[in-house]
Homo-oligomer: A and B are copies of this chain.
């Protein structure tokens, strides 16, 4: 998955949609919009600071400034108003691993600079022709303060949510936050995105709709990402799950995996199905990935394997009401502030 997208915890559709809407509303005047020129070099930007970086994905998000076209046209000399903020997202690209892609790499213009050589092992820098080593780039210009906030790095901390914390902090937070759920109901009622439904079990108690996640390009099986959204309303998260939900959970696991295997040819044994805790929206849904794909939010604090959840409830019916459940929370999140206000951080 591309790290040029919004941060993982901003991936939920309503927030992203709403966020982008807000951001678009917050943009500068109409003249300014047409100020996104067709740049031919990054030289047009002045570096301000690094907003976010991911050394594993080899990506970086930069705050820079550039001249607004209008000001340049009018040459009214007001240099102060002629500058606007820009966000530049850079991400190195994966290798083209087709035969022709690799053969093109092993070419005379890929020069090698040796660092050292020990027995049969040698380390080098390969210097590739720029066209074989392009860097995916997104430029947002002019960028608003909301863009800066959205793309800035916010550190995640582990919060250990006891059953009492859930009742006194998390649940009131969920109830007081007016999460927009209409987009989910639109999918379930097939008012929107019905053309993308991969599988549906219409049963009101144990049924669900299986749709590709927005983060998936719907092509690369390596990064396969689907979500099952349950038809039943009112199950907020993992915390609500009890033995009465076992038929629903087993149905999602078995029928969901079968539907993915049938549709995409990926065997069940190469798939993982899991919940996020906290979820990005409080209507029960399950994430499906290839096991070799380290999707954002699939790590050990925050992700809960569906087969484990089923087993836990089968063995210990009150498991999700009794357990302390740790979760990751960014310092700018509203829930983080709630835990801070309660003196828990």
A interface residues, Cβ below 8 angstroms from B: 1, 24, 27, 33, 36, 38-43, 45-47, 50, 53, 55-60, 62, 64, 90, 92-95, 97, 99, 102-103, 105-114, 117, 119-131, 133-143, 155-160, 220, 222-223, 267-272, 274, 291-294, 298-301, 303-305, 307-308, 311-312, 315-316, 319, 322-324, 326, 328, 345
Q: Across the interface, do B291 and A311 meet the contact criterion of CB distance under 8 Å?
A: no
Q: Across the interface, do B137 and A124 meet the contact criterion of CB distance under 8 Å?
A: yes
- Beyond A97-B53, A114-B38, whether A119 also contacts B33 by CB under 8 A is yes
A45 to B303: give the CA distance in the assembly, Å.
43
A124 to B140: give the CA distance in the assembly, Å.
11
Q: Across the interface, do B108 and A39 meet the contact criterion of CB distance under 8 Å?
A: no
* Distance in Å: Cβ of A309 to nearest Cβ of chain B: 11
A303 to B291: give the CA distance in the assembly, Å.
13
Q: Across the interface, do B126 and A134 meet the contact criterion of CB distance under 8 Å?
A: yes
Can you give 26 contacting A-B residue pairs, CB < 8 Å?
A27-B120, A39-B114, A40-B111, A43-B110, A47-B99, A47-B106, A50-B102, A55-B222, A55-B223, A56-B56, A56-B57, A57-B57, A59-B95, A60-B102, A90-B95, A120-B143, A125-B136, A128-B135, A155-B270, A291-B328, A300-B304, A300-B305, A307-B324, A307-B326, A312-B323, A315-B316
Residues from chain B with Cβ under 8 Å of A223 in the complex: 55
A134 to B55: give the CA distance in the assembly, Å.
14
Q: Across the interface, do A126 and B135 meet the contact criterion of CB distance under 8 Å?
A: yes
Residues from chain B with Cβ under 8 Å of A131 in the complex: 127
Which residue of B121, B130, B270, B292 contacts A128 across the interface (Cβ within 8 Å)? B130
A114 to B294: give the CA distance in the assembly, Å.
30
- Beyond A112-B137, A316-B315, A322-B315, whether A94 also contacts B272 by CB under 8 A is no
Which residue of B107, B127, B137 contacts A43 across the interface (Cβ within 8 Å)? B107
Nearest chain B residue, comparing its CB with the CB of A300: B303
A340 to B47: give the CA distance in the assembly, Å.
57
Q: Across the interface, do A42 and B112 meet the contact criterion of CB distance under 8 Å?
A: yes
Q: Across the interface, do A62 and B124 meet the contact criterion of CB distance under 8 Å?
A: no
Residues from chain B with Cβ under 8 Å of A119 in the complex: 24, 27, 33, 36
* Distance in Å: Cβ of A195 to nearest Cβ of chain B: 23
Residues from chain B with Cβ under 8 Å of A345 in the complex: 269
* Distance in Å: Cβ of A127 to nearest Cβ of chain B: 4
* Distance in Å: Cβ of A295 to nearest Cβ of chain B: 9
A269 to B102: give the CA distance in the assembly, Å.
43
